[in-house]
């Protein structure tokens, strides 16, 4: 089982079912597919032609290339790397200045070491700068309008001032916006913190259509697109991946048409059908689950397959600088344990509640416990959050490491194995091999 960058070796009972994403053939020549997508895009001129036009109009043209942070497995470097081909086109077209802007949203800035692990070596050569977006740095933001829902649109000014604006990203299930990629590189990727007061506010997050694979009427998706339309985009490069993180599709061109094509492919590849809900479901937090905040994605998806009153087991390798998440998330998370999921969400919806950034993830955890029901059980198997740390941070659920010793991968294996060994034979048991990257759906 995937465990962040590591793996767990588990012994499954004979009656366990392993549910996995459908088999998809990866692109046989990913590098060629990336170059072809840039030259023959969807709903837009070739990137080289766009660059040529921008430079002709302004010989000192500046390009901003927006990338995801390290909570997304976007292939920016290596044989499948999508960044270097774009840099080659920009350089060949005579772009004077290139800035790689990391769309951190409300996440912490990436460190120099993390950036060098994520990006190709050519991203650090002369003529290219790499910058983290900071949602709280008012001097780096500019207000450019207001959406129909009343969101004051504050965007990174370095992005707004660029002559050429390029977005990159991965299209996969997203438990709030339906799917990722596309406009999400801007909202929430490059917005000011105050934009999230509406975009991730309690009313939008409590809307049942703010959910995985829901596109029509999804308020989170609609708001992201409205903000992105205000900010402007010249070119989009999005990809889809299989369960082994191999490229299955490259989609370049106009923001809406290219993302629509990528979404269509993703929707056909991410659903995991099942016949009946299970007494126990075991899953993992995947690449994204570097802290408790991010691990919510896996829990939300896996809870779909658990019977009311059943057990959900989540293995997570919380390698971030803080295993829980940012300071704001740590402030609000204990409400879930103190009040229970329904009362905690009602508190966030109350008129006298003062918005706390990252409170939206508490609502996603509330969704998990609501699906499990009042007699359900959630077990977190995370070596970095066990024992006194589990209780110190007000984690809701059960500590999978209680009574166990050890650390790291070995402790995680012991946590999950103990649960597996205790599942009665007459109880149905499923293991979600792909964690947060698939969406279980019960067949009609």
- The model's pLDDT over 196-218, given as tens digits with 9 standing for 90+, comes to 888 889 999 999 999 999 999 99
- What pLDDT was estimated at residue 257? 98
DSSP 191: B
What is the maximum span of the chain, computed from C-alpha positions, in angstroms? Answer: 72
Closest C-alpha among 239, 236, 251, 246 to residue 37: 251
Higher pLDDT, 373 or 288: 373
Three-state SS at 328: helix
Start-end ranges of CATH 3.90.226.30 in the chain? Answer: 2-21+272-442
Half-sphere exposure of 425 (CA within 13 A, CB side): 1
Residue 49 has pLDDT above 90, yes or no: yes
Summarize the confidence of residues 153-173 as an average pLDDT: 97
Domain 30-269, CATH 3.40.50.11440 — does that match? yes
Summarize the confidence of residues 302-316 as an average pLDDT: 98
Residue 71 has pLDDT above 90, yes or no: no
Q: pLDDT tens for residues 4-21?
A: 989 999 999 999 999 999
The Cα 358–Cα 11 span in angstroms is: 37
User: What is the phi/psi pair of residue 146, to 5°?
Assistant: -145, 140
The b-or-e profile of 218-247 (16+ CB within 10 A means b, else e) is bbbbbbbbbbbbbbebbbbbbbbbbbebeb
> Strands 152-156 and 164-170, how do they pair?
unpaired
> Strands 173-174 and 178-179, how do they pair?
antiparallel
pTM score, whole prediction: 0.91
H or E segment to which residue 290 belongs: none
The Cα 274–Cα 19 span in angstroms is: 8
Question: Which residue carries 């024992």 as its tokens?
Answer: 387
The Cα 273–Cα 57 span in angstroms is: 52
The Cα 418–Cα 401 span in angstroms is: 9
Summarize the confidence of residues 107-124 as an average pLDDT: 94
Closest C-alpha among 429, 427, 439 to residue 18: 429
Residue 367: band (very low, low, confident or very high) from pLDDT cuts 50, 70, 90: very high
Residue 110: band (very low, low, confident or very high) from pLDDT cuts 50, 70, 90: very high
Residue 106 has pLDDT above 90, yes or no: no
Q: pLDDT tens for residues 381-427?
A: 999 999 999 999 999 999 999 999 999 999 999 999 999 999 999 99
- What pLDDT was estimated at residue 287? 87
The Cα 119–Cα 104 span in angstroms is: 15
- Kindly list the distances between the CA atom of residue 206 and the CA atoms of 176, 209, 295, 331, in Å, as whole numbers in the listed order: 10, 9, 19, 20
Domain 2-21+272-442, CATH 3.90.226.30 — does that match? yes
Start-end ranges of CATH 3.40.50.11440 in the chain? Answer: 30-269
Residue 72 has pLDDT above 90, yes or no: no
Instruction: Give the Cα-Cα-Cα angle 226, 227, 233 (nearest 5 degrees).
Output: 100
- What pLDDT was estimated at residue 184? 97
Three-state SS at 389: helix
Question: Which residue carries 């799917």 as its tokens?
Answer: 179
The Cα 186–Cα 236 span in angstroms is: 11
- What pLDDT was estimated at residue 19? 97
- What pLDDT was estimated at residue 258? 98
H or E segment to which residue 267 belongs: helix 255-269
Tokens coding 414:
């012991």
Summarize the confidence of residues 87-103 as an average pLDDT: 96
Beta bridge partners of 164: 63
**Residues of the chain above pLDDT 90, percent:** 94
Q: Please give the sequence-ordered ranges of beta strands (E in DSSP) within 171-316, or none if there are none.
A: 173-174, 178-179, 235-241, 247-253, 271-274, 278-284, 306-315
- What pLDDT was estimated at residue 191? 96
Residue 289: band (very low, low, confident or very high) from pLDDT cuts 50, 70, 90: very high
Three-state SS at 442: strand
The answer to whether the beta carbons of residues 233 and 242 sit under 8 Å apart is no
Residue 243 has pLDDT above 90, yes or no: no
């Amino acid at each position: 089982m995937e465990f962040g960058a590591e793996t767990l070796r588990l012994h499954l009972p004979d009656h366990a079912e392993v549910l996995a994403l459908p088999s998809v053939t990866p692109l046989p020549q990913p590098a060629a597919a990336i170059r072809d997508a840039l030259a023959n895009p969807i709903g837009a001129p070739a990137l080289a032609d766009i660059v040529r036009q921008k430079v002709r109009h302004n010989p000192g043209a500046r390009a901003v290339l927006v990338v995801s942070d390290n909570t997304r497995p976007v292939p920016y470097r290596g044989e499948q790397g999508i960044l270097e081909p774009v840099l080659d086109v920009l350089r060949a077209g005579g772009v004077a200045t290139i800035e790689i802007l990391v769309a951190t949203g409300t996440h912490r800035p990436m460190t120099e070491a993390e950036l060098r692990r994520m990006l190709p070596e050519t991203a650090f050569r002369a003529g290219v700068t790499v910058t983290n977006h900071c949602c709280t740095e008012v001097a780096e933001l500019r207000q450019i309008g207001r959406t129909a829902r009343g969101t004051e649109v504050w965007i990174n000014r370095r992005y707004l001032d660029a002559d050429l604006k390029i977005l990159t990203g991965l299209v996969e299930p997203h438990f709030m916006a339906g799917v990722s990629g596309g406009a999400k590189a801007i909202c929430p990727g490059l917005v000011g913190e105050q934009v999230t007061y509406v975009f991730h506010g309690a009313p939008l997050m409590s809307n049942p259509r703010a959910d995985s694979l829901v596109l029509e009427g999804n308020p989170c998706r609609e708001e992201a697109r409205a903000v992105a339309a205000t900010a402007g985009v010249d070119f989009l490069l999005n990809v889809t991946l299989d369960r082994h993180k191999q490229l299955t599709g490259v989609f370049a061109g106009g923001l809406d048409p290219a993302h629509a094509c990528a979404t269509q492919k993703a929707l056909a590849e991410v659903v995991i059908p099942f016949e009946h809900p299970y007494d126990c479901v075991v899953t993992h937090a995947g690449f994204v689950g570097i802290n408790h905040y991010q691990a919510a994605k896996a829990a939300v998806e896996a809870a779909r397959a658990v019977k009311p009153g059943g057990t959900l087991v989540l293995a997570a390798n919380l390698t971030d600088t803080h295993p829980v998440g940012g300071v704001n998330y740590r402030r609000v998370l204990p409400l879930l344990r103190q009040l229970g999921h329904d009362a905690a969400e009602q508190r966030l919806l109350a008129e006298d509640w003062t918005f706390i950034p990252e409170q939206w993830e508490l609502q996603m955890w509330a969704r998990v416990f609501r699906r499990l029901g009042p007699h359900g059980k959630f077990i977190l198997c995370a070596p970095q959050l066990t024992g006194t740390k589990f209780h110190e941070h007000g984690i809701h659920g059960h500590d999978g490491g209680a009574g166990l010793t050890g650390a790291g991968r070995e402790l995680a294996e012991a946590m999950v194995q103990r649960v597996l060994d205790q599942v009665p034979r007459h109880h149905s048991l499923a293991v979600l091999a792909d964690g947060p990257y698939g969406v279980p759906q019960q067949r009609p």
